[in-house]
Amino acid sequence: MFVALIKQLAVILEKMIVPIIILSLIFIGISFLINQNNAKDLLSGYNTMSDVEKQNFDIATYVPYFKKFNLFLGLSLFLISIFILYLVNSDWSGIFMGTYPIFCYTYFIWKSNQFYLQKTKKQNIITSVLIIFMITILGLILFEFNNTLNDNEIKIGNNKLEITGDYGCEIDLKNIESITLENKIPEISSKTNGAALEITKKGYFNTKENQNVKLLINSNKKPIILITTKDKKKIFYSAKEKSNKEIYNDIIKKIN
């Protein structure tokens, strides 16, 4: 059992390391790709400026700053993501990868305003709008991640089984065909509606057997609870805090 757990952990780490390396190399590559000669063609924002606007922008000072920023972003993204991956878990590493570049580029947009030789009202408005937009996107992403990471809880009362939280539901006890313990979730082919991190998976997914199932997986604890309704809907559930087996036994007792 211990060896199987180590192997499973190794697979998760291997899966996560690949996107960490790719994303880090993208930013590092950008830092080496852009220079003052090709900035007029490749540097987003600068390549759309008018000749007058370009004369008001200190591109000679900006390019070295741009290169250093992206090099630092790529290296720090790699090191911190690996640190979180090994010392916390893969879900938090994925969240960091998804939010850290947005946070850094929000700061970068604000700092880039200093490279204008004469600040104009138009440029101040554009910078403010971009920063507000980036902060809004970051806030929405963090809000969704928070909802995804919140534990779903199972409650039974009034002849109903309720699963709280994101993608939760209520099931009439009379509509439950079976509740069983499974060693794993089915192999997933695609997501139809939901959120999927490396460990946490919530929403509706298609299996390799062309079945549509609901996953409310809050942890990698085993065994997993499978609730099958009389209309053949399947819900796979795993709690974050409590033991799945204890929850299963509690459900069976209350139903009986």
177-219 confidence digits (pLDDT tens): 999 999 988 888 888 888 888 889 999 999 988 889 999 999 9
Predicted confidence at residue 14, as pLDDT, reads 52
What lies within 8 Å, CB to CB, of 144 at 6+ separation is 195
228-238 confidence digits (pLDDT tens): 999 889 999 99
Predicted confidence at residue 102, as pLDDT, reads 95
Q: Which residue has the higher pLDDT, 256 or 37?
A: 37
42-94 confidence digits (pLDDT tens): 787 787 788 888 888 888 899 999 999 999 999 999 999 999 988 887 888 88
The pTM for the full model equals 0.73
Query: How confident is residue 9, by pLDDT bands cut at 50, 70 and 90?
Result: very low
Q: Are 242 and 155 in contact (CB under 8 A)?
A: no
What backbone torsions phi and psi does residue 12 show, to the nearest 5 degrees? Answer: -60, -45
Q: Is 146 helix (H, G, I), strand (E, B) or coil?
A: helix
The first and second tokens of residue 77, run together, are 């993204």
